[in-house]
Chain A
Amino acid sequence: METPDNEKQEYNITVYTENQIGLLNRIAIIFTRRKINIDSLNTSPSEIESIHRFNIVITESEEVVRKLTRQIEKQVEVLKVYYHTNADVIWQELALYKVSTDVIAEKVSVERLLRENGARVVVLRKDYTVFETTGHREETDNLISILQPYGLIEFVRSARVAIIKDSEGFNSKLREFERLEPGEDVVENEYLNQGQKVFTM
């Protein structure tokens, strides 16, 4: 990255962990202890059974993020931590919008609305309709402002999920952890070798 070490920007922190009660708290307090706000947090099972993946978004300098990732990786039940700028990932947030079917059918060109915002209808009932979009924050925000005049009933947005552009070999590396004994080829701390950066594959 060209950005200087101390300039703040959004970072996507990806954490692979065991599925363990209390681990969310153990990870969260690493941020709260330093009074760092978590902008977005998503946790769900990864493609490997029993391994979970956290996606955490914070706005900080790279130096702070690097130190945080090392503190997270130090936790006994954390397998691996990576961090990336927004330029290094493809990310999406999912949003659901509930509106009155009557109003929307009467006053809005639903077809245009769906087309222009890449939205789709999830539920269509006599009393209400639920739209869904995925995209960056601006995109999901945009549909709020469009629907607001037509009596938006309820809105919800998911945390961010991000896929890393340069992640060749991630899956096979994770599978290595399934083995009980550490193999010769598992290099546990590859990122350390990079001096400056947390390991990116």
Chain B
Amino acid sequence: METQTITQELGESTKVKTPTIEVSGSVALLEALIVEGVETIFGYPGGAIMPIYDALYDYNNKLNHILVRHEQGGIHAGQGYARTSGKVGVVFATSGPGATNLVTGLADAQIDSTPLVCITGQVFAHLLGTDAFQETDVINITTPVTKWNYQVTDATEIPEVIAKAFYIAKSGRPGPVLIDITKNAQIQKFNYEGYVKCNHIRSYRPKPIVRPQYIQQAAELINQAKKPFIIWGQGVILGSAEQEFKAFVEKSGIPAAWTVLGAGAIPTDHPQNVGMLGMHGNYGPNVLTNECDVLIAIGMRFDDRVTGRLDKYAKQAKVIHLDIDPAEIDKNVKSTVPVWGDCKETLPLLTALVEQKPHTEWLNLFNEYTQKEVEAVIYDELNPTSGEMTMGEVIKQLNDITKGEAVIVTDVGQHQMVACRYAKLNKTRSNVTSGGLGTMGFALPAAIGAKFGAQDRTVVAIIGDGGFQMTLQELGTIMQSGVDVKIIILNNRFLGMVRQWQELFNDRRYSFVDIQSPDFVMVAKGYGINGKTISEREHLASALNEMLDHKGSYLLEVMVTKENNVFPMVPQGCSVSEIRLK
């Protein structure tokens, strides 16, 4: 029975415990993944996870395992996959160094609420605590950076634990889960009775109950407001509430701005989308945060990069905070009305109660600020006619060609802020970036995963010359898997964001930001990936077209101005109203 899984053979009725098949813990794990709908696994084998890889040998036609070049690449790929597909990313790693290499990705997924299930091998149970070869206390190392973790030492636990892992990873506020499985449990045979998905854990409340009185109070505040302002985050996307959100925005007529991770939940050129919040966000949304009378925060957590100085943040406004995680309410900004719950449920209730209003004058005020920003910053950034190329004009040209249909994956630094500011996004789940943790080296592996998660879409990774060198070994993963990822390196021969801060705040004392790079095109060529370097403006459009038209992966290195700064900017410790245009 090549096409049927053991679980299918056992049949649906798992409550009847008579039909059992003896399987190993490893087989039970792979069966569980199949029932959970997993198609792609990113992983790297090693001693303590060998029994699972041995079982995987026979599951090659049901589970697509992508061999990465480093476990950090594996987990970032899992994150990219989860972000574009909305499914749980699955990652395999071995014990010891394999597991510790996951930690950065776990921390990234934890702070950005990305659903992951990571499976790590562990030494035999009888060797735990003996400093055995490649033994590490993975559970304790990963506790602060996982939503849940668990060590399996007996194969019979595997079906139930994996079911819990998937349920916890994707329900409520999503997050990473790590399951550490000792080698004996992977080998051990037991009577497998089938797999039951988990949908309830008694101590776990994935979402708070919606309270009608808060919806009512929120609607009253919104209906009385003269200058209401919506700020939204990734919660809208994680809750698959894009339609509900759009309906709320359009009926209420309220201007809406996004956090970096919320980008794309409604299209960039939606008339009520007034731009990006935060340190390098747009002028209007930052300044007018301190002028609105009701601030409606939806699925966002008031990160310090969004709020700037907290004691001068929206003090004049009544705050309505919609969030699925009760711990986020009143954590940074005190709410007037806390709307607990899943925004997919709360938004329609709120939409039903809000009055239809145009808010034309208020919206125009945002547009006036946009004009000022265009004149002071944006026009020159996007349309330079002389000198070296800017990062912004590369993004603009890319927009012109992709028309906003591509998935944009970014790394961390200046290019990330420029890409988030200027990339046109027509669809949700189009912006993949490391927001909370700011992990350099994220983009290349994340782009690989993003493509597996959205195979019918064009995936463009935009990376700086610094970040690219942190995980460039994943070019090997691209080579071997044949995945089609377009890579743009915006090379300013500097660690640009740190250099910008050193210029602005440290008297241009450029301390270790002058970074040398290899010939990226040659490196790519070594991995069998085509590429090109350009430094002249006149070649930009044709080079981008060539990259996008190329069958398979392609690396385009664009030499850009060395010392450009990203503006506007809310300097650290300043209020959002003190945003600088230069």
Instruction: List residues of chain A with CB under 8 Å of any chain B CB.
Output: 17-18, 21-22, 25-26, 29, 33, 66-67, 70-71, 73-74, 76-79, 177-182, 187-189, 192-193, 195
Contact = CB atoms under 8 A, between A and B. Distances in A.
B209 A188 contact: yes
A189 B340 contact: yes
A70 B209 CA distance: 16
Nearest to A33: B144
B326 A74 contact: yes
A73 B340 CA distance: 15
Nearest to B327: A70
A78 B148 CA distance: 12
Nearest to A181: B200
A106 B205 CA distance: 62
The 8 closest A-B CB pairs, nearest first, are: A70-B327, A188-B205, A79-B203, A189-B208, A76-B148, A76-B204, A74-B327, A177-B202
Contacts of B209: 187-189
B338 interface: yes
Given A22-B140, A67-B331, 15 more contacts: A17-B203, A22-B149, A22-B150, A25-B140, A25-B143, A67-B327, A67-B330, A74-B327, A77-B203, A78-B203, A179-B202, A180-B202, A188-B205, A188-B209, A193-B211
Interface in B97-132: none
25 contacts: A21-B151, A22-B149, A22-B151, A33-B144, A67-B331, A71-B327, A74-B325, A74-B326, A74-B327, A76-B168, A76-B203, A76-B204, A77-B204, A78-B203, A79-B203, A177-B203, A178-B202, A181-B200, A182-B202, A188-B208, A189-B205, A189-B209, A189-B340, A192-B211, A193-B211
A76 B331 CA distance: 19
A70 B208 CA distance: 12
B201 interface: yes
Interface string B198-223: 00111111001101000000000000
A96 to B, nearest CB: 31
Contacts of A26: 143
Nearest to A71: B327
Interface string B146-177: 01111100000000000000001000000000
A105 B327 CA distance: 58
Contacts of A71: 327
B235 to A, nearest CB: 15
Contacts of B340: 189, 192
A182 to B, nearest CB: 7
B139 interface: yes
A64 to B, nearest CB: 11
Contacts of A181: 200
Nearest to A178: B202
B149 A73 contact: no
A34 to B, nearest CB: 12
Contacts of B150: 22
B326 A73 contact: yes
Contacts of A74: 325-327
Interface string B381-410: 000000000000000000000000000000
Interface string B357-376: 00000000000000000000
Nearest to A193: B211
Contacts of B329: 192
A33 B107 CA distance: 14
Contacts of A66: 330
Q: Which of B140, B150, B203, B329 has the most CB of A within 10 A?
A: B203
Contacts of B327: 67, 70-71, 73-74
A112 B140 CA distance: 51
A76 B177 CA distance: 11
Contacts of A187: 209
A67 B326 CA distance: 10
A192 B148 CA distance: 23
A189 B144 contact: no
B160 to A, nearest CB: 13
Interface in B308-349: 325-327, 329-331, 338, 340
B201 A76 contact: yes
Contacts of A22: 139-140, 143, 149-151
Nearest to B205: A188
B326 A189 contact: yes
Contacts of A180: 200, 202
A177 B200 CA distance: 12
Contacts of A189: 205, 208-209, 326, 340
Contacts of A193: 211
A192 B208 contact: yes
A67 B148 CA distance: 20
A66 to B, nearest CB: 8
A187 B326 CA distance: 14
Contacts of B330: 66-67
A192 B340 CA distance: 8
A198 B204 CA distance: 18
Q: Which of A18, A181, A193 has the most CB of B within 10 A?
A: A193
A93 B53 CA distance: 53
Nearest to B334: A63
A181 B199 CA distance: 10
Q: Which of A17, A25, A76, A178 has the most CB of B within 10 A?
A: A76
Contacts of B211: 192-193
B203 to A, nearest CB: 5
A141 B554 CA distance: 74
Nearest to B328: A70
B335 to A, nearest CB: 9
A74 B327 CA distance: 7
Nearest to A68: B327
B511 to A, nearest CB: 29
Contacts of B202: 79, 177-180, 182
B203 A18 contact: yes
B332 to A, nearest CB: 10
A70 to B, nearest CB: 4
Q: Which of A25, A74, A78 has the most CB of B within 10 A?
A: A74
Contacts of A188: 205, 208-209
Contacts of A179: 202
